A and B are shown apart, each in its own frame.
Chain A
């Protein structure tokens, strides 16, 4: 099964208060729901935060996850985003080893993915890339064994604008 069908995105609007993230993540642990990735930050309204959770819907029916989440007093709104109904982005920074021969290709590829070089020394180079999770997967796959270290943020998403 492809990741796209096993995973579902929940965009959860919560009160921006101490302990709220712990309540949300604790609920997932307690009920045996698996989190694939999680991103959290305040929204344009500083009293609200948005938690974007990519859940493994094989671990539990999505309906049960959202119903249990909705019971948390500090959870204000839950939007289930099917991948086709959402715009998603994820940020990655990745350090790769380069040789004088391979470096131009790495820079070219980074440019193709609209990435940027953040740091560079000796035979290593660190670039940042924002994009869809699939694009980031494709980039790292093309870098292959040159990847020394990488870090991804987990995806953030908003519903597509419908006219």
Chain B
């Protein structure tokens, strides 16, 4: 069948099962926007290309399916680089299609030309500049395969305009659809080496103080159930990193919650004092380890990751297993049982009582505000948490509000927490929440955002209002770039430099209303719950609540940057 590159691209996306594209048209991608009119694929017209990328990420986080974004060349391509980098850091499956100037114009500094593949080289799992229209079906097939298998990640396809323009002979091709993908240089290993799995089982059997260190890879591998089975078989506690919140329910007795720079005392200290860390889909990020030389220095390491380059990148494992977390955990459970688990496990009652002692002594805490004072952000989060469904999806931006949400939310299900962990992208929350709601319209979706973050991507609420995507945004408005303020207070002798934003400029309620949303402002504790309840009832448009919170409130516990995790500061009283 004779076809053209643009029609072939859309058909290929349909065959890949794409149900939604987040995008914004422009000159170079224009021909592809014509066949979209006749395609069953839903297109969501964003207001800024960065929004398209983060929506695709939010969609992918919530559904496990690859997010798809499509934008034009030049400035559109540069605008979507942040989401590409974000998805690369957090291993989010995503396919981004960018228009490019016509083949003859490449390299001539043509209008809206940038070297997109050059610019995105270090922030994509793979990228292709299409040079022949006949390659389009194959390249799309490969892109989805690469984005979703092995360690997931973003793949970029850059397509010159002449190859998709039906009026240009360069766009002509005979339609085909490859049966399979043939990539000689790409063969991710899924099954763990049985000998290494047995070594891991023996290390576990000999451990007195083990901790399961669950990272985002658990969620990517759909391994939450396997992880819980492993933890319960051995009665071993689990920490869930920022990228793995929800992998084990927070109310499960074995769940210690979040470790790291703003992790809770027990999670941080249990890792620090353990004699065996079983790292599953985690990458020893500096925000988890603190000063690396002082991290869990008595612990042996079992490290399971689908990306072999993660094994030994930061900390040399005693047993390093390349493989898919779900498959490896299932095999590990079998190996442990063969060796006699759970009956053969050593008595770890003193380790368990040590841990529960820490939990009792050092719970998360804050001091409720006096009547008439500004809201405590933690109070707002507790109210939100307790008055939304268990399976509510919560997205966040980056900063204090992100850490408080990760700390105070009680995650009951995997895939209910969406945030920017590795890149730390301010402005992630609003578009990511929109993408999540598009992917999971059956779920309630809240974004918890900071006032600084909100101002970076709020325009996408226009998209949400226009497309009737009823996300809900809770702005914890402390009138500051709060996390930077916290560092300046703690480490720069309270010399506040360029962190004040004002609570009233902009007027968030009016801004929300101008964007077609319901806007509310909440200043006192008794108004928090009614506002949340009212927001929960709105299902035909987005809602924005401007919660006025106390700027002096800081995120604790905290391990100061560069310090050992043993120097964790539990609360403000520990500062002086």
Which residues of chain B are near A74, meaning CB under 8 Å? 185
B1 at the A interface (CB under 8 A): no
In angstroms, how far is the closest chain A Cβ from the Cβ of B11?
Answer: 24
Contact of A73 among B129, B183, B308, B313 (CB under 8 A): B183
Docked Cα-Cα span, A18 to B103, in Å, equals 14
Docked Cα-Cα span, A19 to B118, in Å, equals 9
In angstroms, how far is the closest chain B Cβ from the Cβ of A30?
Answer: 4
B88-107 vs A, CB cutoff 8 Å, 1 = contact: the mask equals: 00000000000000000000
Which residues of chain B are near A70, meaning CB under 8 Å? 308-309
Contact of B121 with A15 in the complex, beta carbons under 8 Å: no
Contact of B185 with A15 in the complex, beta carbons under 8 Å: yes
Which residues of chain A are near B118, meaning CB under 8 Å? 22
Take A22-B118, A26-B122, A64-B313 as given contacts and tell me if A75 and B185 are in contact as well, using a CB distance cutoff of 8 Å. yes
Docked Cα-Cα span, A54 to B130, in Å, equals 32
With most chain B CB atoms within 10 A of its CB, the pick from A14, A73, A75 is: A73
Contact of B121 among A14, A22, A71, A76 (CB under 8 A): A22
Contact of B308 among A27, A67, A75 (CB under 8 A): A67
Docked Cα-Cα span, A26 to B312, in Å, equals 22
Which residues of chain A are near B146, meaning CB under 8 Å? 73
Which residues of chain A are near B308, meaning CB under 8 Å? 67, 70
A68 at the B interface (CB under 8 A): yes
Docked Cα-Cα span, A70 to B313, in Å, equals 14
Contact of A71 among B117, B122, B184, B307 (CB under 8 A): B307
Contact of B117 with A19 in the complex, beta carbons under 8 Å: yes
Q: Which residue of B lies closest to A68 (CB)?
A: B309
Docked Cα-Cα span, A121 to B254, in Å, equals 83
Which residues of chain B are near A76, meaning CB under 8 Å? 184-185
Contact of B312 among A15, A64, A71 (CB under 8 A): A64
Docked Cα-Cα span, A47 to B125, in Å, equals 22
Docked Cα-Cα span, A32 to B50, in Å, equals 28
Task: Please classify how large the interface on chain A is, using the bins under 10, 10 to 19, 20 to 34, 35 or more.
Answer: 20 to 34
Which residues of chain A are near B183, meaning CB under 8 Å? 73
A63 at the B interface (CB under 8 A): yes
Docked Cα-Cα span, A64 to B313, in Å, equals 7
In angstroms, how far is the closest chain B Cβ from the Cβ of A50?
Answer: 14
B126 at the A interface (CB under 8 A): yes
In angstroms, how far is the closest chain A Cβ from the Cβ of B130?
Answer: 11
Contact of A26 with B185 in the complex, beta carbons under 8 Å: no
In angstroms, how far is the closest chain B Cβ from the Cβ of A16?
Answer: 12
Which residues of chain B are near A23, meaning CB under 8 Å? 121
Docked Cα-Cα span, A68 to B129, in Å, equals 22
Which residues of chain A are near B312, meaning CB under 8 Å? 61, 63-64
Q: Which residue of B lies closest to A75 (CB)?
A: B185
Docked Cα-Cα span, A75 to B183, in Å, equals 10
Which residues of chain A are near B186, meaning CB under 8 Å? 73
B131 at the A interface (CB under 8 A): yes
A71-86 vs B, CB cutoff 8 Å, 1 = contact: the mask equals: 1111110000000000
Docked Cα-Cα span, A19 to B185, in Å, equals 15
In angstroms, how far is the closest chain A Cβ from the Cβ of B301?
Answer: 16
Within B243-286, which residues are at the interface with A (CB < 8 Å)?
none
In angstroms, how far is the closest chain B Cβ from the Cβ of A112?
Answer: 44
In angstroms, how far is the closest chain A Cβ from the Cβ of B307?
Answer: 7
Within A19-58, which residues are at the interface with B (CB < 8 Å)?
19, 22-23, 26-27, 30
With most chain A CB atoms within 10 A of its CB, the pick from B129, B184, B308 is: B184
Which residues of chain B are near A75, meaning CB under 8 Å? 185
Docked Cα-Cα span, A74 to B117, in Å, equals 15
Within B492-514, which residues are at the interface with A (CB < 8 Å)?
none
In angstroms, how far is the closest chain A Cβ from the Cβ of B253?
Answer: 38
Which residues of chain B are near A18, meaning CB under 8 Å? 129, 131
Contact of A67 with B309 in the complex, beta carbons under 8 Å: yes
Q: Which residue of B lies closest to A23 (CB)?
A: B121
Which residues of chain B are near A22, meaning CB under 8 Å? 118, 121
With most chain A CB atoms within 10 A of its CB, the pick from B117, B121, B313 is: B121
Docked Cα-Cα span, A23 to B121, in Å, equals 7
18 residue pairs from A and B, CB less than 8 Å apart: A14-B185, A15-B184, A18-B129, A18-B131, A19-B117, A22-B121, A26-B121, A30-B122, A61-B312, A63-B312, A64-B312, A64-B313, A67-B309, A70-B308, A70-B309, A73-B126, A75-B185, A76-B185
| Interface set of A (CB-CB < 8 Å, partner B) | 14-15, 18-19, 22-23, 26-27, 30, 61, 63-64, 67-68, 70-76
